Amino acid sequence: MPVVTVGEKVKRGQLLGSVDAPVSAPVHSPIDGEVTEVGTCLTAGGARVASVTVAPSAEQDFETFIPVERGDVRATVRAAGIVGMGGATFPASVKLTPPKDLEISSVILNGCECEPYLTCDHRLMLEEPERVLRGAHVIAETVGAKRIVVGVESNKPDAIESLRAVSSGDVEVMSLVTRYPQGAEKQLIWAVLGKEVPHGKLPAAAGALVHNVATAAAIADAVDAGKPLMERVVTVTGRVARPGNYRVLVGTLVSDLIEFVGGFVGEVSRVIAGGPMTGPALANLDVPITKGTSGIVALGPEECPPVMKGDQPCMRCGRCTEVCPMFLQPFQIGTLANQRLWDRAAPLHPLDCIECGACAYICPTRRPLLQLIRLAKAAEMAKGVKP
């Protein structure tokens, strides 16, 4: 809930929104300024959420901020509002508190960045590997893990060398096969440890804890300097004048970010928040960059064929089954979800879907399989079943 009022002067790092729920994170002001509105705003995913609008002061000092009160690591990470920055935005403090009956033997940092177009994590590993590895050590010490592994796909050899150059030897930087979705949590655990996370269980059941490399860097900042999560590196690419990776303040409007990089170039059919496989297409560019926004991708007509209208028949070709990393049957779940036969879809384990989008990408009739599976997942969660 907002803890500031309209007309109030705020400083960079000041708390704007507080929360009591355990699976949540507070929000801090990324700038010095004045609160102009307390209300709601539209997000990239289409939801309306509580929001605070801050008009920036004429002069800004981005090197200083109000630090959070530091306690133990978990309390500090929660106070700093740190969430998973790979896109899931799950509160990092919760992940740092695994079930007491499960031992975490390995901390895995996800540096795969397997989504097409995105390179923000790649640049972070190249330019600030010390922050990444410092965060890895903090995480490992907090959960009592003896092994630290950073998984990086083999198409980023410079990032692998950058991390190895600053490692003292107690961190294993592992080169992994370049394939999608290598960076998905369960797939990464299998690739690094050779262990399968049991159905319905947490990664801790395999003795593993996975964090994104950007999340680890943010944890290091919070523990060492009390810095809240107020900014992140965002890939802005595709049909824009100056594609690249930019350090962006949380809350910046996508429209302002596009203007900053010189605007669009040529015809743009779709703008995606995140990666093109999993990110939502934006119907409105006046939505904010959030803590989980890894990229803004502007695609042209040749990269985005027009959406086929109406329900397309399933050819029963089995391609979606062949590419599903969770060994599900997307075509069956999609067919049952389309007919709203939720009870028949449930035994096919739609909640195990990691929403990678591979099934929809490979489908020759271009059925909206991912969206249909999401409906089946929502129906299960409405019954109180946890994913």
What is the chain's pLDDT, residue by residue, as a tens digit (387 residues)? 899 999 999 999 999 999 888 889 999 999 999 999 999 999 998 889 999 999 999 999 999 999 999 999 999 999 999 999 998 899 999 999 999 899 999 999 999 999 999 999 999 999 999 999 999 999 999 999 999 999 999 999 999 999 999 998 899 999 999 999 999 999 999 999 999 998 888 899 999 999 999 999 999 999 999 999 999 999 999 999 999 999 999 999 999 999 999 999 999 999 999 999 989 899 999 999 999 999 999 999 988 876 666 667 899 999 999 999 999 999 999 999 999 999 999 999 999 999 999 999 999 988 989 989 999 999 999 887 766
- The candidate with the shortest Cα–Cα distance to 212, out of 354, 55, 83, is 83
Predicted pLDDT of residue 11:
97
- Count of Cβ atoms closer than 10 Å to residue 197 Cβ: 18
Please give the helix or strand (H or E) that residue 360 lies within, else none: helix 358-362
Do the beta carbons of residue 133 and residue 166 sit within 8 Å?
Answer: yes
What's the whole-model pTM score?
Answer: 0.94
Predicted pLDDT of residue 168:
85
Q: Listing from the earlier edge strand, what are the strands of the sheet with 231-238?
A: 244-249, 231-238, 295-299, 270-273
Q: What token pair was written down for 29?
A: 């002001």
Question: Which of 53-72 are b and which e, b meaning 16 or more Cβ less than 10 Å from the residue's Cβ?
Answer: bbeeeeeeeeeebeebebee
- Give the class (CATH, top level) of 231-299: alpha beta
Burial class (CB in 10 A: 0-12, 13-18, 19+), 226: middle
Q: What token pair was written down for 152?
A: 């990086």
The whole-angstrom separation of Cα 247 and Cα 62 is 11
308 DSSP 8-state letter: P
Can you tell me whether residue 302 is helix, strand or coil? coil
Q: What token pair was written down for 16?
A: 């704007």
The single-letter code of the amino acid at 7 is: G
Do the first three CATH levels of 82-225 and 231-299 match, i.e. the same topology?
Answer: no
Residue boundaries of the structural domains of the chain: 9-56, 82-225, 231-299, 319-382
The whole-angstrom separation of Cα 307 and Cα 264 is 22
- Fold assignment, 82-225: Rossmann fold (3.40.50)
The count of residues in the chain is 387
281 DSSP 8-state letter: B
The whole-angstrom separation of Cα 217 and Cα 320 is 36
Can you tell me whether residue 245 is helix, strand or coil? strand
The whole-angstrom separation of Cα 175 and Cα 369 is 32
The alpha-helical segments, DSSP class H, found in 287-351 are 319-323, 330-338, 342-345
322-326-327-332 Cα dihedral, nearest 10 degrees: -90
The whole-angstrom separation of Cα 387 and Cα 381 is 7
Predicted pLDDT of residue 134:
98
Burial class (CB in 10 A: 0-12, 13-18, 19+), 82: buried
- Count of Cβ atoms closer than 10 Å to residue 229 Cβ: 26
End-to-end CA distance of the chain: 26
CA distances from 215 to 12, 129, 301 (A): 20, 13, 34
339 DSSP 8-state letter: T
Q: What angle do CA 81, 246, 160 make, to 5 degrees?
A: 85
- The candidate with the shortest Cα–Cα distance to 165, out of 192, 131, 130, is 130
